[in-house]
Structure 1
């Protein structure tokens, strides 16, 4: 099968009753169940089938790719060309960065949106994480330490970006256009891409298990790798679904600018992060975006009398400035620019 479903296994080693993530309840142990997601099958695409020379096989994959972008704004990719050892090496290097002294890390602590390297430490009473923001394309900016971090990130971000561009070509086809439709519309040759590397601590039973509040992603498309399973949850039909993936699989999020471009046909997925109760989780998602000065609004191909423009248009630079604190407080300007 070219597209299957991933059977989810809860990352908490407890038997619980699935509840809506927006509701707080107490289980029989007296702990807060607010953070428990629902186990549900999620879409997974075999990349070897996506690249198949069999037209019928590839056509089915593209059809399902479009279906998942509409229904979930999310899918998982397996058997992709990004080496598992490169993913591990990259995450290990970033763990070395986070394990440095506060003095070393806070050299990069800034709120200036023009800074291409930024370190942030969350308020543990609100969200529990540290993160490092580094731009990767068209120019890579990376901390000097630890040694070889820059070289590792260059290879990792390049390989993941190549995968993302290939998937976006498939998404273009799923919309009924040529493979380069999105690339041309959003000037992806000069795309502004970045990593937001998250370091989530392990946390046992607590009144606050939140690693990152619910949000959608800026940019066009996000590819997520991680060092350990469990923690990511996506919102679907009013429920929080657990996303559990193998170390060599990559989770893919439709982001805000793909929703804007398609006038809401493809959905920017709302998601959050819950702290693993046993294991530290480090994840370096790559955010692929349009070129900074590319103006994006609902494309004419998605607008008609029955589907008027649903979003204000703006450049990616303007949107990032509006969303500068999104990674801190979880707000997204997508809601603000809906018409």
Structure 2
């Protein structure tokens, strides 16, 4: 095994009120101390079926500038498709450990695909209370089906069906984000690789934790991709930093959570905000989420869009191959 799986540690911790020291965050990060308890605005919720495109563009652009995230309802993905995706992921994590290990990320892998626990380097040696499974779901030429679980038997069907719908949602959001900057509707997607844009599925599995006041499922971070489209389960836990306060994302049934990632912040030359967020854990319930990260192809160079640059708005970021950007970010190397 790469490391002890958190799911196994959680099982051993069920009868205890303690967690291993490496999971205890510094006081500056502990949820009990740092979560804001006062009145806060809700994260924007946007009706994606809005017929007035100009109105929809304004709502999405505004949320992307002010928050760096929003939730979408009436997004067009049938509830049964989402439920099937959720059931397939949940059943995978409920398999015996040796079955899950068949899909473990190889120790020498240069890619993040596969089943695992640790993702980012932590300079303090701390660990997050989460296991995960990564695999690409689009384009087909980039899919490694060896890393797609064959149990439950409908896992592949559930993911392929969801992929067909989530690509339509992404197209609509990219178009609105482009129009929101005064660009042609295809500008953002084309700058990120067009039809070669990669869709990386991740399942985050956060088992019950005896000390949710001390631990984090995922530490504060921005997503290194362009856009994240996330399906949550009913156990809340996502928090976003807004006006220097960590605030809870309200659970909205059947909504998708959209995060602006680093590549869109770079493309927009800072106009759209890559949102700083973190994940909490629950004392008694398992929290699971299904983010899909929309990533440029590895060799794609991403920099501020030239049509946005002027003498008064010079480039704020250096163009860089996506694979180099990702390597620096995951290894905590300054960009």
- The TM-score normalised by the length of structure 1 is 0.81
Are 1:262 and 2:258 counterparts?
A: no
Task: After TM superposition, give the deviation of residue 207 of structure 1 in Å.
Answer: 5.1
Q: Identify the match of residue 70 of structure 1 among 65, 69, 78.
A: 65
**1:112/1:133 CA distance change after superposition, 3 Å:** farther
| CA distance in 2 between partners of 1:265 and 1:151 (Å) | 38
Residues in 2 aligned to 1:207 and 1:232: alpha-carbon distance in whole angstroms: 14
Structure 1 pair 112/83, CA: closer, same or farther in 2 (3 Å)?
A: farther
CA distance in 2, matches of 1:297, 1:87: 34
Pairs aligned (count): 298
Which one scores higher on RCO, CA 8 angstroms, separation ≥ 6?
2
1:113 Cα shift?
A: 4.5
- Native 8 Å contact 1:233 1:243 kept in 2: yes
Please list every run of 5 or more consecutive structure 2 residues that lacks an aligned counterpart in the other structure: 1-25, 120-124
The equivalent of 2:165 in structure 1 is 159
Deviation (angstroms), 1:24? 5.4
Q: Could you report, residue by residue, the CA deviation over 1:187-226 in whole angstroms, capped at 9, with x for unpaired residues?
A: 2211122011100112244552300000011211001111
For 2:29 and 2:254, the matched residues in 1 are separated by 35
Query: What's the RMSD between the two structures over aligned residues?
Result: 2.5
Change over 3 Å in CA distance of 1:227–1:86 after alignment to 2: same
The 1:83–1:111 alpha-carbon spacing in structure 2 relative to 1, beyond 3 Å, is farther
Does 1:321 pair with 2:327?
A: yes
Instruction: For 1:305 and 1:113, locate their aligned partners in 2 and report how far apart those are by CA, in whole Å.
Output: 43
1:104-183 maps to which residues of 2 (within 5 A)? 104-109=99-104, 110-115=106-111, 117-122=113-118, 126-139=127-140, 140=143, 141=145, 142-183=148-189
CA distance in 1, matches of 2:92, 2:127: 23
Q: Which among 193, 204, 207 is matched to residue 199 of structure 2?
A: 193
SS of 1:34's partner is helix
CA drift at 1:313: 1.3
CA distance in 1, matches of 2:248, 2:217: 14
What secondary structure sits across from 2:283 in the alignment? Answer: coil
Match runs of 1:228-267 below 5 Å: 228-267=234-273
Tell me, yes or no, if structure 1 residue 36 matches structure 2 residue 42: no
What is the aligned partner in structure 1 of residue 293 from structure 2?
A: 287
- Give the one of 82, 85, 96 matched to 2:91: 96
- TM superposition shift of 1:23: 6.7
Counterpart contact for 2:212–2:283, Cα < 8 Å? no
Task: Supply the distance in 2 between the matched residues of 1:283 and 1:104 (Cα, whole angstroms).
Answer: 21
